[in-house]
Structure 1
Amino acid sequence: MNEIDQTKRTLSSSDICADLHTHTIASGHAYGTIREMAAAAADQKLKILGISEHAPGIPGTTDPFYYRNLKAVPRNLYGVTIVHGCEINVLNDGARSLDDEMMKYLDYAIVGIHRQCYQDQGRERNTDHLISCMQHPKARLVSHPDDDHTPLDYSRLVQAAKQWNVALEVNDSSFAKQEERWGCLDNYRCMLQLCEQYRVPVVVSSDAHDPSRVGCFDQALSFLDEIQFDRSLLLNLNENLGQLLAFFQLREIYVHS
């Protein structure tokens, strides 16, 4: 990929300003409160924490009514700006698992395929359905597009991300679960090469389900270093904070510490 001075390329979790894909106890299979997650984010020197509970479709997750009262959560906890997303499931007909009425309460939406509520329909139809969900104006990120249990056409996905102004995720937890996420490394290599070709931004995420995992991106960042990925496309790098705020439309929400 890019020929860049390697002495300037070593990335670590301390280089990241925001963790936008995390889950609290409200998701039903995660183990921290919002305040515990925010305290962990502060310990990791993050500027922004995104709480993105699982939408309906995942067993045990929160009732959609949860999203109506997100205004009750302080925007700043322990010096960290709190923003509210939702990890919305792609369903087998290409619909989203959270309706428009609830999406209006979100700062942003993440869309992704989860095998708990989606059956593989082949590479082309899987891609069709994911692209359909990416077209909602609140959609800003595609979660863990890396698993050949539900294969994707990465050329089509990346070009759709460019068209609909949606970032693609490099999910740190996928690297720890490679036996479960078939073809993860090869899929990321393919996707990220296309992201460079089409100038499509990416976001690294912890996908933390416990405070101990908030702000943990080292495996994903090591992979990005290995393939010499263009860091100007990594939205949640500290140096790209302004781009992140503009892309996720968070400028008016961000609280400077």
Structure 2
Amino acid sequence: MRIQVDTHTHTYASGHAYSTISENAFSASLLGLPMFCTTDHASLMPGAPHYWFFSNQRVLPRFLHGVAIIRGCEVNIRNIEGDIDIPPSVDQNLDWVIASFHEPVFSPTNKLVHTQALIKIIESGRVDALGHLGNPNFDFNFKKVIQCAADHNVAIEINNTSLKGGSRIGSIDRCYEIAKTAKELGAFITTGSDAHFCEDIGKFEKVEQLIDAINFPLDKIITHTPKQFLSFLALRGRTPITEFEALVQ
């Protein structure tokens, strides 16, 4: 498998997804996917859980059905100042945080506002990746934001659901341009299925097509292997996960 980590998945807890984390892990195991991040929506998204849900992820086992579990969250970009909807006290209990625009939380405004919000989010140091940036409702200056992300070692997500065309209509061409810009500027990318049902975990057909089409370098795809992903977390200053030591050898 060229992509061995899925960094964007949801469970029933998000309010509009339909599987448990155990079901997600079982589907991943059937596919042969060795690792995924569980990233339910943070609290300002309608139907999402209270922030204690994320703080308490420390009770999750590190392996389910033989699959490595990364404890994470998809937070909402709240405003132009770069605020997100989990308190700083939760950060220590998470391994991975994606920040995304969602219309119910941040009303689409204009390119300048969206660009400033994304740059502030990157500079805050609290997020590891920017999610589904292809959404045309949230246009932004690709070069400014992606250069900032490259400078701060924040990954740019290539979202398989966005590339399917049924969600966030108008994203496909933008995703290709975002990926080309990331390649040009030497930014890291991450790959997420954005699965809201267990059978979509680890499915990257559209992402694979994009990678091939633009010849994106594997050493900049942090989801290429678990070792590569964990090395990126270390680069971000995340505390090493003892249970995953064998995966970085």
TM-score normalised by structure 2 residue count: 0.90
Q: Structure 1 residues 134 and 253 mapped into 2: Cα distance closer, same or farther (>3 Å)?
A: farther
Do 2:163 and 2:175's aligned partners in 1 also have CA atoms closer than 8 Å? no
Do 1:143 and 1:168's aligned partners in 2 also have CA atoms closer than 8 Å? yes
Do 2:4 and 2:224's aligned partners in 1 also have CA atoms closer than 8 Å? yes
Give the aligned partner of residue 182 of structure 2: 195
Alignment of structure 1 residues 30-109 onto 2, 5 Å: 30-93=17-80, 94-109=82-97
Matched, 1:227 2:217: no
2:228 alignment partner AA:
Q
Matched, 1:142 2:130: yes
Q: Distance in 2 between matches of 1:76 and 1:67?
A: 17
Do 2:37 and 2:72's aligned partners in 1 also have CA atoms closer than 8 Å? yes
Q: Distance in 2 between matches of 1:64 and 1:82?
A: 19
Give the aligned partner of residue 191 of structure 2: 204
Matched, 1:157 2:142: no
1:127 alignment partner AA:
T
Equivalent position SS for 1:116 = coil
Matched, 1:28 2:15: yes
Equivalent position SS for 2:138 = coil
Q: Which runs of 4+ in 1 moved over 6 A?
A: none
Q: For 2:120, which of 96, 115, 132 is the aligned residue?
A: 132
Do 2:159 and 2:192's aligned partners in 1 also have CA atoms closer than 8 Å? yes
Q: Deviations over 1:26-45 (max 9, x none)?
A: 11111111111111111111
Equivalent position SS for 1:104 = helix
Do 2:136 and 2:168's aligned partners in 1 also have CA atoms closer than 8 Å? no
Question: How many residues matched?
Answer: 241
Q: How far did 1:179 drift?
A: 6.5
Q: For 1:246, which of 227, 231, 235 is the aligned residue?
A: 231
1:242 alignment partner AA:
K
Q: How far did 1:157 drift?
A: 1.1
Q: Distance in 2 between matches of 1:157 and 1:252?
A: 33
User: What is the alpha-carbon root mean square deviation over aligned residues?
Assistant: 1.7
Give the aligned partner of residue 166 of structure 1: 154
Do 1:76 and 1:255's aligned partners in 2 also have CA atoms closer than 8 Å? no
Q: How far did 1:208 drift?
A: 0.5
Q: Distance in 2 between matches of 1:37 and 1:100?
A: 28
Do 2:26 and 2:64's aligned partners in 1 also have CA atoms closer than 8 Å? yes
Q: Structure 1 residues 123 and 60 mapped into 2: Cα distance closer, same or farther (>3 Å)?
A: same
Equivalent position SS for 2:43 = coil
TM-score normalised by structure 1 residue count: 0.88
Q: Distance in 2 between matches of 1:251 and 1:100?
A: 20
Equivalent position SS for 1:15 = coil
RCO (CA 8 Å, sep 6+): is it higher in 1 or 2? Answer: 1
Do 2:73 and 2:98's aligned partners in 1 also have CA atoms closer than 8 Å? yes
More helix per residue: 1 or 2? Answer: 2
Q: Distance in 2 between matches of 1:153 and 1:105?
A: 32
